[in-house]
Amino acid sequence: MTTMLSHERYCSEILAQTGLLCAALGEGTDVSVTVPTCPEWTLGHLLMHVGQAQRMATGLVREKVTEFVPPSTMAQPVPTPGPGDPAADDLAGLTAWLTEGAEALAAVLREAGPDSPVWTFSEQPRSAFWARRMAHETLMHRADALGALGLPFTADPEIAADCVDEWLGILSLPAAVAFKPRLKELPGPGRTLHLHATDTPAELDAEWFIDLTGEGVAWRRAHEKAAVAVRGPMTDVLSVLYRRLPADTDRVEVIGDRELLDFWLERVAF
């Protein structure tokens, strides 16, 4: 497992990713369009989810909550406005609200620093978890929004690689298995996967070996032969891993056991 990026980098990314998301919402954007990668949601619902998730994290860190709190705003099938939230069809209100929420979250995280005790669903009960989680939550929902608008999605290679690290780490957590029991189906003989970003500098070491031959999901940054490999640009490898791109896209190359890749992707989807 690699070292996380700095706490300040994650705080900056929360602001940057929210800013890029808002910048994509030009005047006249139809927030009633369906989000293909979140088909139960409109674009307005997606934006509400991002803002509600950021505010949930802000509250946890600000209040130093150390006991489990059901993440109700993140679990709603279709996000609905709470007190002070804009309506899902209010583009100007949503944009201002998202910006305000991201600024508040970054400020709270910076004030707390990375080591403030706070509840998380990981084995890392400190504020650093939420800085990283919200940076990547916002990044990937920016991908959803751009897809709904028919716009291309790209991500900085370093933050995209860290997003892969974080996602694989989440899938290996006991809490993830408890939340999504189908993860228990993943282990089996010969089940290994390799992810390989082809457009990153060597020092980024953007290759991953995922080992499902044990009792759960194990992974490491490594160049190792696997039953199936996915090769392509960093953003596209990330997008396939998160199911923001179909595995049969011509933007990546799949080598080996395609059925294993489909098996994996179906079970890790949240």
The helices-and-strands tally (H runs, E runs) of the chain is 9, 7
Q: Report DSSP state, residue 227.
A: S
My answer on whether 142 and 218 are in the same domain is: no
The tens digit of pLDDT for each residue in 236-262 reads 999 999 999 999 999 999 999 999 999
Q: Phi and psi dihedrals of 54, rounded to 5?
A: -60, -40
Q: Check whether residue 211 and residue 83 sit in a common domain.
A: no
Contact between residue 243 and residue 143 where contact means Cβ atoms under 8 Å apart: no
102 and 186 fall within a common domain: no
Q: How far apart are CA 54 and CA 51, in angstroms?
A: 5
Of 120, 137, 153, the residue that ends a domain is 153
Q: Is the pLDDT of residue 73 over 80?
A: no
Is residue 201 situated within a structural domain? yes
Buried b (16+ CB within 10 A) or exposed e, 36-47: ebbeebbbbbbb
Of 122, 153, 184, which marks where a domain is finished? 153
Q: Is 135 inside any structural domain? A: yes
* Count of domains observed in the chain: 2
Q: Are residues 141 and 162 in the same domain?
A: no
Residues 142 and 11 in one domain: yes
Position 254 scores a pLDDT of 98
3-state helix, strand, coil in the chain (%, to 5): 50, 10, 40
Domain boundaries, position 168? 158-268
Same domain, 34 and 147: yes
Last residue of a domain, one of 95, 124, 153: 153
Share of the chain above pLDDT 90, in %: 90
Look up the pTM and report it: 0.95
What is the CATH number for 115? 1.20.120
Which of 70, 98, 116 minimizes the C-alpha distance to 14?
98
Structure tokens at 241: 């891993």
Q: 112 and 23 in one domain?
A: yes
Cα(265)–Cα(229) distance, integer angstroms: 13
Say if residue 253 is in the same domain as residue 225. yes
* C-alpha closest to that of 114 among 132, 97, 90, 100: 132
pLDDT at residue 1, rounded to an integer: 44
The answer on 166 and 144 residing in a single domain is no
Would residue 73 count as lying in a domain? yes
Any idea what the CATH number is for the domain that residue 226 is in?
3.30.1050.10
Classify residue 2: in a domain, yes or no: no
Identify the pLDDT of residue 270. 79
